[in-house]
Amino acid sequence: MKKRIVSLLLAMVFTISTFSSTVFAAEHADINYSEIEYEHVDPAEFYKVTDLVITQAADKNNYSSVESLISKLVDFWYRVNTQYTLAVILQSKDASDATYNEEYLYSFNLDTEILHSLADTLEIILESPCAGTVYDVLDESELTYILQQVDAGADDVELSSLMSAEKEFINQYYKTANKEYTAVVNGEAMTLDGIKNAKLPEDIYKDAIREIHKNKNSALGEVYINLVKTRAKIARLCGYESYTDYCYENTYFRDFTSEDVTALSTLVKEYIAPINKKLNEIITNIDFSSLNELDYSPETLISREKGVIEKEFPELLESFNYMYDHGFYDIGADDNKADTGFTSLLLDYNVPFMFNKPYGDFNDVWILVHETGHYNRFFISRDILPMLELSEIDSQGLELLFYDFYDDMIGDDKCTDLLKIKLLKSWIRSIIDGCMHDEFQQIIYHHPDMTLSQMNQLYYNLCLEYGYTPTSGYSDAELGESYAWTETIHNFTDPLYYISYAVSMIPAWELWMQAQTDFEEAKERYLQLVNREQADTYMQTLSDLGFGNTFDEATIKELAHSLGEVVDGIELKKVEKPVFSDIANHWARDSIEALADEGIARGTGDKKFEPDKSATLGMYVLMLGKAVDAEVVGLKLENSVEDLTTNYSLYIVWADANNLLTESGDASPSSTITREELAVMLYKYVEQTGRDITVTESEKFADSNQIDVWAKDAVSFVEESKLMYGNENNCFNPQQIATRAEVSSVIYRLDKLLC
């Protein structure tokens, strides 16, 4: 007999989107968010009523009194759940506040405790002469949700113990993940920052970075192994052969199987992964820098979104206006905010709240649209336990229907195509990453005795199968192991969660395809999905609305064909060679035009190059990387999540990983570089090629005394190699900011030098 156990935490949290899952109140409260205050709830009152109602339910003559007491218990839980949600919001607003953290833990535990106690109490009353009172107070969906919270293991000591152990291991994960890890370099333990700031030879630098991530993987891997073994025992005790099947059925209530997802993963590898690889290759030849110049201020974005909704999505206007007018959102910039975004329901008021910590770049555009989709569904629905995959279509579907209106969102139609390319990559990756992470976990939960090394090898091989190149800092090619998977929090806290992103994006893209020929019909279909009944399941809902079967090969082939056409369209656009109007009489014209013809040099907009403008680190590493055909596809930032903010970022990761940057300056893409820093970075690259870098004279320039000690050999080398020159007064001007023309000329000369 399989025992039905609901994981409350997972039922009430889904990233990026929601923390609460129930909607019982019928009316939206007429209140501003600023009027709501958090309270520390004392449960004593609840338990007094619980004891009283159980006693009175034994006598049918107390029917009216029992009904009133049940209403009080339900109202009390509304109150507790609402305070939990407020605590989540407060903690997210200031993640460093110890009080908020304490209240979050208190309110979460209290919410879980009260809901379980309410369920136990209702079960007792349902066996009493006053059973009818339960149905008088709660409708069927409300009662079903609450009774699902009954702890099926309450009388099973072993099961209760295992579930407590699982929670403890999750807590251990958080502690272990937040520790600082080190690598031993020349007998000294060094942190990640220490390694980056030290002047280490390339091979030692790479080994040290890898050692840090390996050490973190080792510590977190031990926690994960314990989690896997504990979850495997829970599954067996509840009558399941694999935790995968237990989790699919009891945590997410999916109406598709793990076998369906395995078949889907095979199709994604065959049809979708090659398209992503092609897109990656194209993106490395596109300059996205103009996206960084746009206005992404929160109030500007939300004002523009309102304009789009008023014109194109009036059906969403009621929920949007309520959120905007009553202040039920916080999307402003604040360093103290947690790095997260979600939409959460305040149950006592039947009102959602939208939260996001903005990036200050194009990501804020799609996140706002994404969360608006969730907000609208929460506002209009009475979900008890929403189907996660359908909830993500609420958000991703709206993202894709906004496709032709992103120019209105960013206020610059010239940059819209660039934004769409960024979004396209994100949408494709949601399918691939969803399948890859699910396959990784499925295999492990089917083989719970796997060692950490075997898990690392599995992830390494899956990366290759899905078209990714394991990042050197997070993997060991000789051992065939990748350590990056321990950087993904869901693997620990929300097992087998990621597939939801994949199976929701597939029908969302089908909406996009329909919108290209009939937007109104596609929008109507989306609205029908959003207005679904709360008990509707994923497969049945999609079937009823005429969507293709997510797990059929025909659906994936059609998806791949559509994605491929969009990607091919991008490739056609990139062949146009830039013509710059402001370099006709400039001394660096030949170098700039030659590099532009090869797709290495790019302008600043409006057919301008601005040769005398200060060069940035981002410009230098991008041009160097393109000139030497750097392998950047698959590279990740130190948190193992690829930064799509700007095309420069991956090249900076490449340069940093290969120890090509200086230790003296700011490593952000927008930072300027001095002439001596430029010399040092050139010197470092040439050194790695194996060419002779012997310096014969180190005091040639009239201002040699102004050159920093760490840059002297590099400056002498670039002069002797004719990569850089002094001015007419024989001065190198080491602290002078390098210009775009100077960087272009040295990259052009470097290309010739190495030929």
Q: Quote the CA–CA distance of 234 and 38 in Å, as a whole number.
A: 36
User: Are 235 and 241 within 8 A, CB to CB?
Assistant: yes
Tell me: the pLDDT tens digits for 586-601? 898 989 988 887 778 8
| Other Cβ atoms closer than 10 A to 122 | 23
Q: Report which residue type is found at 462.
A: L
| Other Cβ atoms closer than 10 A to 554 | 9
Q: Report the chain's terminal Cα–Cα distance, integer Å.
A: 72
Reduced to 3 states (helix: H, G, I; strand: E, B; else coil), residue 599 is: coil
Q: Any idea what the Cα angle at residue 48 is, between residues 45 and 52, rounded to 5°?
A: 140
Phi/psi at 207 (nearest 5 deg)? -65, -40
DSSP string, 50-102: HHHHHHHTTSGGGHHHHHHHHHHHHHHHHHHHHHHHHHHHHHHH-TT-HHHHH
Three-state SS sequence of 424-460: HHHHHHHHHHHHHHHHHHHHHHHCCCCCHHHHHHHHH
Enumerate residues 6+ apart whose C-beta is below 8 A from 10.
251, 252, 494, 497
User: Are 338 and 307 within 8 A, CB to CB?
Assistant: no
Q: Residue 26: what pLDDT?
A: 60
Tell me: the pLDDT tens digits for 570-583? 865 554 455 688 89
Q: Residue 755: what pLDDT?
A: 62
Q: Quote the CA–CA distance of 106 and 337 in Å, as a whole number.
A: 20
User: Are 668 and 617 within 8 A, CB to CB?
Assistant: yes
Q: Quote the CA–CA distance of 159 and 150 in Å, as a whole number.
A: 14
**DSSP code, position 224:** H
Write out residues in the chain with pLDDT < 50, as ranges.
1-25, 151-155, 575-576, 633-646
Q: Quote the CA–CA distance of 442 and 497 in Å, as a whole number.
A: 11
DSSP string, 511-547: HHHHHTT-HHHHHHHHHHHHT--TT--HHHHHHHTTP
Q: Which residues of 570-597 are buried (b: 16+ CB within 10 A; e: fewer)?
A: beeeeeeebebeebeeeebbebbbbbbe
Tell me: the pLDDT tens digits for 532-587? 987 788 999 999 999 999 999 999 999 999 999 999 988 655 544 556 888 988 89
- The dihedral over CA atoms of 677, 683, 688, 692, expressed in degrees to the nearest 10, equals -170
- Please tell me the pTM assigned to this model: 0.73
Q: Residue 288: what pLDDT?
A: 83
Q: Residue 5: what pLDDT?
A: 30
Average pLDDT of the chain to the nearest whole number: 86
CA distances from 476 to 479, 528, 571 (A): 5, 49, 33
Q: Quote the CA–CA distance of 110 and 246 in Å, as a whole number.
A: 26
Of the candidates 521, 509, 523, 508, the one whose C-alpha atom is nearest the C-alpha of residue 314 is 523
Q: Residue 604: what pLDDT?
A: 78
What token pair was written down for 315? Answer: 């059906």
Total residue length of the chain? 755
Q: Quote the CA–CA distance of 551 and 536 in Å, as a whole number.
A: 19
| Sign of CA pseudo-dihedral 387, 391, 396, 398 | positive
Q: Which residues of 403-433 are buried (b: 16+ CB within 10 A; e: fewer)?
A: bebbbbbbeeeebbebbbbbbbbebbbbbbb
Phi/psi at 342 (nearest 5 deg)? -160, 165
Where helices occur in 599-738 by DSSP H, the ranges are 617-627, 647-657, 675-688, 712-720
Q: Report which residue type is found at 568.
A: D
User: Are 24 and 78 within 8 A, CB to CB?
Assistant: yes
**DSSP code, position 269:** I
Burial class (CB in 10 A: 0-12, 13-18, 19+), 333: middle
Q: Residue 12: what pLDDT?
A: 35
| Other Cβ atoms closer than 10 A to 214 | 22
Tell me: the pLDDT tens digits for 624-661? 988 887 765 444 444 333 333 345 666 787 888 888 88
Of the candidates 333, 334, 371, 327, the one whose C-alpha atom is nearest the C-alpha of residue 351 is 327
User: Are 441 and 313 within 8 A, CB to CB?
Assistant: no
